[in-house]
Structure 1
């Protein structure tokens, strides 16, 4: 572990399709992420509150994508595993959530805590594929979603975070489709509307810079936000924290990045359009 995370134990492993975070939780405010979340307490327990549900308490909490929730911890730091929903077969999250919340819960708590210990002492070097990440956290690889090649191409465009803003019109033109047909295909293949997908990926990209001393207004422009107000509102909606609070709480966070998502060159399982 580098000097930033050595004393605090705070770390984050980021891959194109997964994130493993162990660090400060921040004040318990409502958040609504685009990823599937598994929270695990480092010590004590967690309190999860979701809309229309009774507050749950335990060492592990599961939150599906795009569900508004508040998470609080007995201890100031927490482990959080994020999985991008478009990378996993439909129905796989429901099955995983049932296992995580059922009789195997303690097994998963112990496994994810062990993964944290492993990352503290032996950070992953180079690229880590999603299957390896899943085995480390869950004991098995999650089944991959097969995605139309034209949608894969659009996802790659969104993930570059450079140049002109990526629009549905530009992606549709490159795919040789009308905008309406492209939007339908994108949601059909990923399970997520195009605009929601793009907004989440932009906010997720912020994680790569969380422990750096940067001008936030400049960063907002660089990753595609039209202005600082839009940037602040979007980040607070997804993470429940203002951008400045995220950066302030991440100064001692060690960040490790992996460039590959899957064993293939693109990181995606594709099907011909």
Structure 2
């Protein structure tokens, strides 16, 4: 995940059908995230100012309020001068992802401050003041809807969506190509090609992505890095760290899940009101 790398980082992870995100504060003075690529489309926001984005391994650093990074594009972000930041990931096979992919055409897009200002304020209120997980997700979805709604939405293949739903229901379990293909009512060979056509990535890479998302969900709940790694199917925390570095540019240990949502989630139930 693109996020601050210093110990001062304090953040949370949220997930919804078709996407997820990190929201956090801190990181002043640290180095930018190493260049990396991942399959999700990325929306990065730096508030109130301070976000910098690099497109490509040697691209020019550009300052902006927010940016959209296309799927599988090598990039880096720097949030060290932001008071807080949010990084949202939109899965390309969703209708919103399809619309954004059609608009971006593999290019970086810098967003105007006025376009995201109102929803960004709502996101900050939901996270910092209300400390409400559902309100944070609602604000994230509003951002995604507003941005993707500027382009005609192209429906995703229902067979791929059925497979994605099946994978989501099997979190923490090993799934094979044949059983996922069966969930999509296709042969393994046909499904393999269709999945790449729809998502731009092999099923194996997608499954790895979903396992990483499970890790951060477990860290939000207070599990240790080691226990989260094992629960998500990684051999150990070192295996998890190597994988996360290759896909996000940094290890999960750099992202302390101790923001207001995490703290609230870990409170005894009778204290939640």
Band of TM-score, shorter chain: 0.7 to 0.9
Cα drift, residue 183 of structure 1: 0.3
Change over 3 Å in CA distance of 1:100–1:124 after alignment to 2:
farther
1:186 maps to: 195
Q: Is 1:62 aligned to 2:68, yes or no?
A: yes
Q: Provide, for residues 31-70 of structure 1, a one-character-per-residue CA deviation record: whole Å limited to 9, x for no partner.
A: 4333222222213322212325222122223211222222
More contact order relative to length (CA 8 Å, sep ≥ 6): 1
Q: Find 2:110's aligned residue among 101, 105, 123.
A: 101
RMSD: 3.5
TM-score normalised by length of structure 1:
0.72
2:3 maps to: none
Change over 3 Å in CA distance of 1:76–1:111 after alignment to 2:
closer
Structure 1: unaligned runs, 5 residues or longer: 1-7, 258-273
Q: Find 2:126's aligned residue among 98, 115, 119.
A: 119
Change over 3 Å in CA distance of 1:145–1:192 after alignment to 2:
farther
Give the distance between the partners of 1:65 and 1:124, measured in 2 at CA. 26
Cα drift, residue 87 of structure 1: 0.7
TM-score normalised by length of structure 2:
0.72
- Structure (1/2) with the larger helix percentage: 2
Q: Find 1:171's aligned residue among 180, 183, 188.
A: 180
Change over 3 Å in CA distance of 1:175–1:70 after alignment to 2:
closer
Structure 2: unaligned runs, 5 residues or longer: 1-8, 266-273
Give the distance between the partners of 2:118 and 2:136, measured in 1 at CA. 21
Change over 3 Å in CA distance of 1:13–1:220 after alignment to 2:
closer
In the comparison of the two structures, how many residue pairs are matched? 244
Q: Is 1:22 aligned to 2:30, yes or no?
A: no
1:110 maps to: 117
